[in-house]
Each structure stands twice: as structure tokens, then as C-alpha cells.
Structure 1
Amino acid sequence: MVLWLIAVMLYQTYKPLPAGISYESPEYRVDQVEFLHDLTYPSSDGQMQHEQQIFQRMMQVVEEAEQFVLVDMFLFNNYQHKGQNFPPVSTEFTEALVAKKNQHPDMDIWFITDEVNTNYNSAPNPLLEQMTQAGIHVVITDVDPLRDSTPVYSAVWRTFFQWFGQSGDGWIKNLMATDGPDVTVRSYLKLLNVKANHRKVVVSEKKAIVSSGNIHDASAYHSNIAFEVTGPIIGDILQSEQAVLDISGGGQVPTYTAPSTDSNTGDLRIRYLTEGKVNDAVLHEINQAGKGDTLWMGMFYVASPKVLEALLEASKRGTEIRLVLDPNENAFGQEKIGIPNRPVAAELHDKSDGKIQIRWYNTTKEQYHTKMIYIAKATGDHIVLGGSTNFTPRNMNDYNLENDLWVAAPPDNKFTLDIANYFERIWNNNDAEFTLDLDEFQEKTTFLKGVLYKLQLILGLTTF
């Protein structure tokens, strides 16, 4: 039996990826990429302020669509903890899709999501059921064909528990939201594989939005970023989503034909990346950074040993590095202990002799959920890469499904200036206290958290 479990571990860790997973588009030239952001921060009188752009633009994509809409969204539900009151964004988006389908019955509308929204098959999601009844194609991603990120546990689960399914009458409290349905033991056993379709994209024949943010009530006040693009890259986004359908029961994504006016010219260069191709691009860009360059990063989770080593090497080469990190204090109403970002921040600060500068985003009950890197080059185009991907092994090493947009833009382009202004604003606290000094979350227990963080990485038993 031990040999069997070892064999399962090895195969499920290194097996071939399904066709179309870990995708990289060709490089396209475009005239415009629009940068969008959501920011939550305390005003001078202590009241929480919310600057929000992303959700309304996603709604606009649906409203303006004439041929098709395809959405792939990790978190999509309206479950909350008792006493919480968030904007009903998931209901509003459901109603918009249903209204679109009712107005245009022949329109091809797809909604792809993760099984977390059915509590790992413990209970139906009323919003998804509403879409299905309206004739919208709803797909719950089957992540089992993907590689296992927690092989020690997943080998046991695949051998003994997967055969029993997860549906049934749940009796265990829902840890993500007290008003969510009770969950079966078998669903929690599946959750412990910690594997997901983590993508976040809304696309029509006219435009696409690649985002770090979910359409999820309890996440509505998180700080996030997104990019809005047009042109033939829409076809690549659809192609990458076909791969998700292929591992999840089939179906055919909408057909996209680029307008004849798309001449593949413009000042900006863009690529669409998924899964491990994001990792390749991030490491390449950091490794190319040198003296005179400034590397900015806004990140919810950073824990990839390869990324950390690349940052330290870039610092040695003279790259100025500034990181804005979430302090990892909370997740869906549950307090967290600061892993991985606090021990990672301590490691980067100490090993670089303080040359790598780090500030914490000033979160309260929300998260700094951004996942973006920006390299202001001393010469040539500046580089931006962002989307769903946290810089962790689980997100970057072909375990989760992820999606990012890579952009190269001249330093004087509006897109570049908007990104630069975003980082300068929150780093310097220009009109509010967006960020805090590193010392704010470097407590005496950081060393012990570092030991726990390293142990989790070695065993693969992480939630990041």
C-alpha cells in the first residue's frame, strides 16, 4: 500500500498537463490597454473609503455584448458571516447575465467557475441555478485532471475517498460563511486538496477584462486591479477557456472573429498567459531587471522561492525594489497569522540588508488582493504583468488554473503613467494612509512563523 501511495503521489505530481493548460498567446500590438483599480482605505476622519472601477466595467462588458459573453470567475456567491453586510455584486451580475439572455435568447453565454461555490458539491448555488434555468451554460470546473499541489494528502484522498463523491446532507458548519449551507465531511476532504480554478476574466466579442478580483459579495471591498483589452487577444482568451471546458465535461466556447480593422499596430505590446507561463514571464522579467530600473510589486501572497531568489539577485544588480504587500491578517472573517507575507518580508529585508523596500497595505477587514508587478525600465518599454496569479508555488507551478496579462508600454503612454501613479500614490500616502511601514507587522513571533512557513512549503501543506 505504501508503494501504491508513493506511485500515486509521483504520477499526480508530474503527470502531463491537459491540452491547452499553461498557455501563452502570440504577442499583439494595440493602441490601448486600460488600467482599472479598486482601493479601500481610511480617510482622514477614520471612515473607510472605497474607490471601485472593476465591477462596473465588468457589468458594462455584459451590457454592450452583441454576440457572446464568457465569464470565468473563481469566487462567485453571496454567502456571508453573521453581521456582515456587503454589496450584492454576485446577485447583480447574475441578474445582468439573465437579463441579457432573456433579451437575446440565441446569444451564447457561458459562466465557468470553481466548485468552491457549491461548497465542493455539498449544495447547489442558487445564483448558478438561476443562470442554468435561464439557458446560460454553467460549468463547474473539474480540477481533478490537474496536477496535485498537496501530493502527500491527495494520494490518500484519490486512493480512499474520491470514489464516494461529495453531495448529500451536510452537517458541518460552513467555515467560509455562517449563512452558507452546511457542508459534508466528504466535501471538506476534497477541499483539503487545495486546488482550484483561480482565473478571473469577463470577455465578449468587443472587449475583455482580466482581473485580480472576484465577483463575490464578501470580497467586494478588497483592493484589486484589472486590465481592459480589445482585439485579437480575445480569441486567445477563448482558446484558453476551451481547455477548461475540455477537462470539465465538454462544450464549445463561442467563436470569435477579429474585426478587419485590427491591424496589429500600436505602441503597446500584450500577451495572455495562463498557469506556468505566468511563472516563466515573471522570472524572465525580474531576471532582466538591472541598475537604473525600478521594480514595483503589489501582491496578496508572495512565497515562490524562485521569485524571492530572483528579487534578491535583482537587488544585488542595483535594481530598486519596492513591494506593497497584504499583511495576511484575515480571510473571509477568519483571522490569519501573517503567513506567508510576514516571514517573507523579513527574509527579503534581512538578506538584502534593507535594500528591498517593503510597505504593508493598510487593511482593516478587507484584503489587499492585488497581484501585479511593474518594472520601470531605465531605457525602453516598461513592463507590467498582472491578473489572478499570486506569486506562490501553488499559483505559478501549473497546479491552479490562473490567468494574467503581460504588457510592454512606452514610459510616456497613458497606461504606463496610470500604473506609475497608482504605485506612487499608495507608496507615498499622497492623499490617504494607504500603506504602513514594515515594522508595523514585524513582531517577535515572525521567526516562528517563518519556521512554520518553511515547513508548509516543504510538505506542500499550505493554503497559499
Structure 2
Amino acid sequence: MTFKLLIALIVLAITTTSLYHSLKALPQGLAFDGKEQPLINPRLLIDRTLHFGNEEPRLDQEIFAEIFDMIANAQHFVLVDMFLFNDSRADGSRQIPLARQLTDALIARKGAHPGMDIIVISDPINTVYGGTTSLHFQQLRQAGIPVVETRLGPLRDSNPAWSGLWRVCCQWTGNSASAGWLPNALGEKPVTLRSYLALPNFKANHRKTLVVDSADGFTGLVTSANPHDGSSRHSNIGLRFGGPAVADLLRTERAVLAMSGADTAAVDNALGSLPDSGSGSPDTIRIITESAIRAAARDIIGTAAPGDRLDLAIFYLSHRSLLNALKEAHERGVDIRVLLDANNDAFGLKKSGIPNRQAAMELNRAGITVRWCHTEGEQCHTKLLVRRDSNGSAQLLLGSANFSRRNLDDLNLETSAHVRSDSNSDTVLKASGFFEEQWRHGPGDVPVMSLPYEAWADESRLRYWQYRLMEATGLSTF
């Protein structure tokens, strides 16, 4: 009887822990829903990989070139928040040492201006949750640059089937960067069992942002690109901007520092010199994070009218409310095109195609045109929604967030930018031009950028319901 009571108490503890951490209040400053600010000095940035048959692929990259330029011209302040910041890579493909380049750029700027405030925020996945060390983080810290590995515990649990047990049994045990004995799936140094036990929590600081000051004032950047060697061939998108929206971006990063128990003084000082509002541009930008991104996406899709066009290029598409919103918009007569990664490759490993092939099947059956990015080992990692209305107005939504439960339901940390402009603005023309190029297909088009739905179609009902179960329960990485 005592044994049964003990088991019952353990089950109760795990269940209540799981429920609490799935439903608890968010840390202050998350799910940030910024107000519309004037869009000042915008610059849309694009990374793409072009394939020319048997020739070496051509990498056209703008995002990190811009990031390095922004850091090189910073005067007093730099804040970087990047999800993947490591040099792991897949064998046999041309890749760029982005992690090393970013580390060197930050250290060089700190060396040139020792009094400069430079802050790096990243995700603990880069040290496999404390089970190994990061040479880049060590070198940054030795140069006097604080590196904050985001404290993920305060976030809601995205995989309650595991995280309740994890919080009761394992999270208290600590980890060691020198006691690893298991093969490291994310790098070369061995890691501990505890690192692998932390992985199924499936939560992350998935943001990719930068804030710097310069002689021209503060500038922000929101992107989908990581300083990760294995990601250096991916297609990505980013937006650089100035003005009062930079203060909003900085406020969202202050929330991450506070949640992680880190010093916020440098950010507070920077915020003290930034304007809260401004004027000078008819176009606007709104900084949004976590579930505010979902609300913006639903509004962009849900208010589109017959004659308007929606173009979506995204790495993961699985969120039920957005899939339903797309189908409803199609039924209203909105012209919709969806360009997806086939979810076939992940840093040299083959994937199952879940969830995109299942989402594509659903959209295709509803009559929505779906195509696949033509990739050869890299990923179509862009997160971009373009809306162009029949009256000439336009909206963009871009940033770190995939259209998935984990990215949009206050589980991961995410940052996106919502832009309102017109169809003939430089920013919208470049975004829509990028989509048109990625949508391009043969015959006669070189390079071929996309493939028809049939190329990666998966009509399996079993895998469809597997996707639905994974999306609903959190038993997935998307």
C-alpha cells in the first residue's frame, strides 16, 4: 500500500508540474506587441543559394555582410541575440565560417573600443545545455564581452509529456562540460547523458536580432539567419531599420536578459538615449514577438480580400489556425501561393518531410498552389509573408518565426517585423521580387528555383495524422 501511495504521489507531482509549467504566466516583456512606428532607412537583406546543374552552387549573401558592417561601425553599443552560434557543419558542402567571423568581428570591435558595451545572447543548445564548451563563447568572454545563455526554464513547456518528468527528476542535477562520455550529435566533443535528457524539452531562444549604435544613431536588424556554419548556405531574409522601432526591439531583448538573470544596465542606458516615437515616413514597422506574431499573421491573412495576393515562403508550416486561415482566404477569392522547404535535409541528415509535406497536401487539396524550394542539401529557411492588395497597399511579415505551434504559441522566443507599405516601395519590391525568383521554374529558367507539388508530395494519411499528433502534443521539434 505504501509503495502504491508513493507511485501515486510521484505521478501526481509529475502531472501537476507538467500542467503548471504548460499554463503558467509568461515572463514580463514576452509576447511583445509593439505599436506601429515609422519605418526609417529600411534595407531588406536576402541570402540565397543558386544551383546551375553540375556547376558549383553560387551563394549570394547579404545578411551577415550587413551585420559585420553594422558591428564595425558601432560606436558605444552592440547587442546580438542569435539562436545557433557554432561552427558545426555537414561534410561535403561549401560552407562559410559564420560563427568564427562573428566572433572575430565582435572581439575586434571590443579591442578597438574597450569601453564599448557589447552583449551576446544565445541559446544553450550551443553548449548542448551545459554538456560541453563553446570556444566562441570562451573567447568572447575572455575579451570582456558577456555571453548570456538564455535561461529557458521560465518559458512555458512545449513538450509537457516529457518536461513534467524532466522538472521533477532531472533538471536539478546540474551538468558538466568536462564529464561528457556520449557521442555529440551537434558537434565533436562528447556530452553527458543529462544533455540528451534536456533535448526533448524542445524549447529555445530562436531569435535572430542585432542592435547597434553608430554616428547616425541606433539601428536594428531582424532576420531568419543564424551565425552557424552548417546554416551558411540556407536561403534567409532580414530587415535593417532605424528610428524608434529600434527602441522596441531593444525592449524585447531586455526582457530576455531579465528572464535570464543577466545585467540589464547597458540596455537601460541605451534605451535612455532612444526615442519612443517619431515621424518622417508613411511606411510603418511594428516589432512583435512570440504569440503577437501569430496574431499579426492571422490578421494579414484573415483580412485579405478578393483580388489581393498572399505569397508565403517559409521553412515550417504547421500551425492549424494559419492553415485554416489560408484555406478560408482562398475560398474568399484571395490569390495565394505557398513556397515550402521539403523538410528533406538537416545538416547532412535526411528528414521525414513532416510537417511541410502534410501541410502541403492539405493546401493542395483545398486548391491552393504549392511549390517546393529546389534545394541540394541546404534549407529554404526564409520566413516571409507578403501581402499585396488590389489598391496598391502592401504588408510584410518576416523574422525568426516559423508558422508552427512552437514558434507562435508562446513556447519559443521569437522576433519578427510587421511592415506596412505600398507595393511600389523598394522594400516591398525587393521582397516580392525575391519570392518571384524563388518561385521560378522551368523550362527555360536557369537556375531552376522551385519544383511542383508533385515532386515531394506525400499523400500518406498515416503521416498526416502523425503530423497532427506531433503538432498538438509538442512531441516534435517544429
- TM-score, normalized by length of structure 2? 0.93
Q: Post-superposition shift, 1:432? A: 1.7
Quick check: 2:37–2:278 contact (8 Å CA) kept in 1? no
1:361 correspondence with 2:373: yes
Amino acid at match of 1:105: P
Distance 1:35 1:431, change over 3 A: farther
Q: Post-superposition shift, 1:332? A: 1.8
Instruction: Tell me which of 131, 154, 169 is aligned to 1:160.
Output: 169
Counterpart of 2:115?
106
The 2-side partners of 1:281 and 1:443 are apart by 30
Instruction: Tell me which of 175, 198, 202 is aligned to 1:190.
Output: 198
The 2-side partners of 1:190 and 1:29 are apart by 42
Quick check: 1:69–1:202 contact (8 Å CA) kept in 2? yes
Partner secondary structure for residue 207 of structure 1: strand
Q: Post-superposition shift, 1:115? A: 0.2
1:370 correspondence with 2:382: yes
Amino acid at match of 1:211: T
Gaps of 5+ in 2: 1-9
Instruction: Tell me which of 113, 125, 130 is aligned to 1:116.
Output: 125
1:454 correspondence with 2:468: yes
Distance 1:181 1:84, change over 3 A: farther
Distance 1:28 1:428, change over 3 A: same
Counterpart of 1:47?
56
Aligned alpha-carbon RMSD (Å): 1.7
Counterpart of 1:269?
284
Q: Post-superposition shift, 1:264? A: 1.5
Quick check: 2:361–2:458 contact (8 Å CA) kept in 1? no
Gaps of 5+ in 1: none
The 2-side partners of 1:47 and 1:89 are apart by 20
Distance 1:409 1:431, change over 3 A: farther
Amino acid at match of 1:184: T
Identity of aligned residues (%): 38
The 1-side partners of 2:290 and 2:283 are apart by 23
| CA displacement 1:150-190 (0-9 Å, x = unmatched) | 0110000001111112224111111124xx21111101101
1:68 correspondence with 2:83: no
Instruction: Tell me which of 172, 192, 208 is aligned to 1:200.
Output: 208
Mean CA deviation greater in 153-162 or 450-459: 450-459
Counterpart of 1:181?
189
Counterpart of 1:58?
67
Amino acid at match of 2:468: K
Q: Post-superposition shift, 1:431? A: 4.4
Counterpart of 1:224?
236
The 1-side partners of 2:281 and 2:475 are apart by 45
1:148 correspondence with 2:160: no
Mean CA deviation greater in 67-76 or 254-263: 254-263
Partner secondary structure for residue 32 of structure 1: strand
Quick check: 1:195–1:400 contact (8 Å CA) kept in 2? yes
Counterpart of 1:250?
262
Amino acid at match of 1:220: S
Distance 1:85 1:26, change over 3 A: same
Amino acid at match of 1:462: S
Counterpart of 2:403?
391
Instruction: Tell me which of 321, 327, 350 is aligned to 1:306.
Output: 321
| CA displacement 1:389-436 (0-9 Å, x = unmatched) | 000000000000000000001121111111111111221345420100
Counterpart of 1:426?
438
Distance 1:318 1:78, change over 3 A: same
Amino acid at match of 2:185: L
Counterpart of 1:289?
304
Amino acid at match of 1:217: D
Counterpart of 1:38?
47
| CA displacement 1:186-231 (0-9 Å, x = unmatched) | 0110111010000001110231111001011110011100011111
